[in-house]
Chains A and B, each alone.
Chain A
C-alpha cells in the first residue's frame, strides 16, 4: 500500500485529499507547510508527494528542491491553482504538474502513472466513479 504525503496549507484541501486518496486505497499522510513535509520525507517511507506551491513561509518550489535533495527518485506531483508555474524551470524536476480542481481524476491518474513507473502497484480500489 503506497504511502502518499499531501502537502498543503489549506486545511480543507488536506481533508479532501486525505479522504479521496484513502478512498483510492492509498495510505495518506499530510503536512501543513514546507518544513513539516521535509521532516516527514527525511524520515523515509514516503512513496509519493503531492505538493502545493503557494504556501506561506517556504513555498512549494523550495520544498521540491529540498525533497529531491533527500531522495532524488521520490516522485513529486505539483498540485497548484496556477498554471504560470509551469514556466519555472525548477518545476521541471517534478514528476508532473496538476492544476487544482474539484475533479481529482487527473491527479489520481498522475499518481498511478508515477507509481507504476517505479514498479509500485497502484492499489486495487473501487473506482470513485463506480461508487
Chain B
C-alpha cells in the first residue's frame, strides 16, 4: 500500500506534465512571493510570442505591465476566493500587439512556494465559439421546428394515403382490439370509424376465418414472435356481397409507448384472380374444344366455361347455346347449363366448384354426369326457337351483325324478339354471336337469372372472346359430325344394299322353288307311275300272290319316297294363290289361341290378349293367316318351356294394323335375328326351319310385313303389320 502510494506522485507528475505540455490553452504558474514566472507550457509561448529563454525568470509585471494597477486587487481576490476569472484581459504580446484573453486563475503551491496557476484563452476565439454554438443552436431549433412541421405534414400525408389505399387496414393492440381502421375497411363494413374502434377482432371477423382458417392463432403468433404472416386466396363471403378472394397480411408494429401492435392489411384480389382466371379459362376452353369433336360434349364444355367460376370466373348463372338449323330455318337452343331455381343453384355451384379445379377436370368427368335429358333447363331448351328470318331482333340480329349485344331490360327492349324474351324470362342478358368468318354458327346467351348480379362490361368482353373460340370449335365439330353422318349414311346405304341383296337372294331362292318344283315333278311322277303301274297289275291278277307281293313291296318303297319328298320339299312351295276376304283379325287370333291353349296350360304360360277397339277390317286369307299366327304362337309358347307370359296385342299403327306376339323366353341371339325368316333356319331341336319362312311367304302375298325384335333373356316379339285396305 505504501509502495503503491509512494510511486503514485511520480507517475502522476509525469502524467500531469504531459497533459500540461500538450494542453491547447496557455497555462502559466507564477510565484505569488516573487511575481516570477515559474512554469509555462508550449501554448503559452505561442500565445505570448516569446521564447522559453525569454520567459524563464521574467516577472509578471514585466510580462504584462498592464497588470500592475490591478496586482493588489487580484492578489486579494485570489487569497480570499482561491480563484478568479477575468473574461476579457488585454494581453500584450512580445511584438507589442494586444489580444483579448479570458483568464482563469487558481491558487496553488509550487515547489513549496505560494503560486497561482493561470489558464489563458483567446477571448475572440472563445467568443467565436460561443457565437458559433449559438448560431448552431438557432439553426438546430429552426431545423427542429421545420422538421416538426414536416413531420406533421408527412403524418397527414401518410394518413391520407392510408385512408385512400384500396387496402383495408386495421391496427390491433395486444388484446386484439381495433385501435385504428381505415375507411376502406369500415366503409366496406358499412360502419363508422367510431363504431369499429375498440371492437375486438372476434366481433368483426367471421368464425371461419378466425378459428377454422386459423387467423386468430396467426395474430397471436405474430404478437409473440414478431414475424410477418401472409395469407393468400381466402374466400370471403358476406351478406349482400358477391364472393371475394382476399389476401391477408399481418405485420408487427410498435405503437404508443413502444407497445406491440399488429397491422392487418386485407387486399381484395378478386379482380386479379378474375383476370388470371379469364386467361386460363379461355386457354382451357380452347384446349377442351380442341380435345373433343363430340358436339354435345363440346357444347357442354363451352357452357360450363360460361357458368363456372363463381367468385373468379365469368360465373354467369345460366348459359344457353343456340345453333343455326338451316334445314328447319330456325335458330334453336341446343343446350343450356344452369339451375332452374335458387335452391338448385346452390347445390350445383357448390358441387361444381368444390369438385373441379379446372374445366379439363370437369370434362374428364363429363361421361359420369347425368345424361342430357336429366339436365336442367330442358324445358327452356325445348322452347327456345326463333326463325332465321327474324334478322331484325335478338338473338338473330346479333348473329347477323356479328356483334355482342348487352340487353339491360329485355321486356322493354324493342331489339328483342318478344317471344324469345318471354321464354328467357330474364330481364338482363348478353347475346354473343358464334361466327366463323361469314358463316353463322349460332349464339351464346348468358344471364344472371338467379343472383341478378349486374353484367359488367368485362363479362360481355370475355363472353365475346369465348364465343369466338367456341364458334371455331363448334364448326369443327359440326363438320366432323356431318362427315360422320355421311359415313353413317353410306354405311346405312350399304346395309340397305346388303338387305336388298339378301332379299334378292331370298326371292331367287323362292324363284328357284319353281324350278325345284319342276325338277321335283320328275321325282314325283316316277314313283307315282311306278305305284300306279304295279297297283294296276295287282288289280289285274289278284291271285298271283308272288308277283303281287313283289309289286306291293315296290309300291311301299315308292310311297315312302314320295313321303320323303313331301316332307323336304313340297311344304316349301305350298302357298300359291291367296284367297282374300275382307275380315276382322280378332276372331282369327282367338281361334289360334284356342287351338294352342292346352299346350300353354301344360307349360304354365299366362296369356294376355288386347285388341284396340274398332280396328278396321283387313283383306286376309283367313286360313293362311291362321297358319301364320299358329306358327308364331307355337314358336312363342315353345320358347317358354318353363312358363312365362304370352302377350298379343292388335293396334292401329299408321296405315296398318300391327299384331304383336311376344314371349318372355330366352330370346334370339342378335346374330341369328336376320336369319329367322330364312328357309331351313331353325334353332329348335325338332324344327323344320320352314315355319317362319312360310309365314313370311304368306304375309308377302298379303302385302303384310313382319318384324322381329329380341332381347336376350327378356324375350322375343314378332310384329305383323297388315295393310289397311282402302275403304
Contact = CB atoms under 8 A, between A and B. Distances in A.
B199 to A, nearest CB: 119
Interface in A73-91: 80-82, 84
Contact of A81 (B525, B531, B537, B557): B525
A80 B522 CA distance: 8
Contacts of B529: 13, 16, 81, 100-102
Interface in B491-529: 518, 521-522, 524-529
B193 to A, nearest CB: 121
B536 A128 contact: yes
A52 B540 CA distance: 26
Interface string A4-25: 0000001011011001100100
Given A100-B525, A100-B526, A16 B533 contact: yes
Interface residues of B, number: 24
A101 B532 contact: yes
A16 B522 contact: no
Interface string B624-652: 00000000000000000000000000000
B534 interface: yes
Which residue, B524, B536, B557, B558, has most C-beta atoms of chain A within 10 A? B536
Contact of B521 (A23, A81, A101): A81
Contact of A103 (B521, B525, B536, B547): B536
Nearest to A16: B533
Contacts of A84: 518
Interface in A52-88: 54, 80-82, 84
A99 B534 CA distance: 17
A102 B530 contact: yes
B340 to A, nearest CB: 79
Interface string A87-131: 000000000000111111000000000000000000000001101
B533 A104 contact: yes
A54 B519 CA distance: 10
B676 to A, nearest CB: 36
Q: What is the size category of the interface that chain A forms with chain B?
A: 20 to 34
Contacts of A80: 522
Contacts of A100: 525-526, 529
A128 B540 contact: yes
A128 B540 CA distance: 7
B535 interface: yes
B554 interface: yes
Contacts of A12: 527, 530, 554, 557-558
A104 B537 CA distance: 11
Nearest to B537: A19
B533 A54 contact: no
A102 B554 CA distance: 13
A57 to B, nearest CB: 15
Which residue, A12, A13, A16, A20, has most C-beta atoms of chain B within 10 A? A12
B541 interface: yes
Contacts of A23: 537
B553 to A, nearest CB: 10
Nearest to B533: A16
Given A13-B526, A16-B530, A16-B533, A82 B521 contact: yes
Contacts of A82: 518, 521-522
B554 A10 contact: no
Given A102-B532, A102-B535, A131 B526 contact: no
A104 B547 CA distance: 18
A112 B191 CA distance: 140
Nearest to B520: A81
Nearest to A129: B540
A103 B526 CA distance: 12
Which residue, A13, A19, A102, has most C-beta atoms of chain B within 10 A? A102
Which residue, B528, B530, B533, B558, has most C-beta atoms of chain A within 10 A? B533
A16 B540 CA distance: 14
Contacts of B530: 10, 12-13, 16, 102
Interface string B22-51: 000000000000000000000000000000
Interface in A1-53: 10, 12-13, 15-16, 19-20, 23
A22 to B, nearest CB: 11
B522 A102 contact: no
Given A81-B521, A128-B540, A131-B541, A10 B526 contact: yes
A23 B518 CA distance: 33
A36 B26 CA distance: 178
A81 B529 CA distance: 9
Contacts of A19: 537, 547
Contacts of B540: 128-129, 131
A99 B532 CA distance: 14
Interface string B539-579: 01100000100100010011000000000000000000000
Contacts of A128: 536, 540
Which residue, A10, A15, A16, A20, has most C-beta atoms of chain B within 10 A? A16
A44 to B, nearest CB: 29
Given A12-B554, A15-B554, A102-B529, 17 more contacts: A10-B526, A12-B557, A13-B526, A13-B530, A16-B534, A20-B533, A23-B537, A81-B521, A82-B521, A82-B522, A102-B528, A102-B531, A102-B532, A102-B533, A103-B533, A103-B536, A104-B536
23 contacts: A13-B526, A13-B530, A15-B550, A15-B554, A16-B530, A19-B537, A19-B547, A20-B533, A20-B537, A81-B521, A81-B524, A100-B529, A101-B529, A101-B532, A102-B528, A102-B529, A102-B530, A102-B533, A102-B535, A103-B533, A104-B533, A104-B536, A128-B536
Interface of B: 518, 521-522, 524-537, 540-541, 547, 550, 554, 557-558
Q: Which 3 A-B pairs have the closest CB atoms?
A: A102-B532, A81-B525, A81-B522
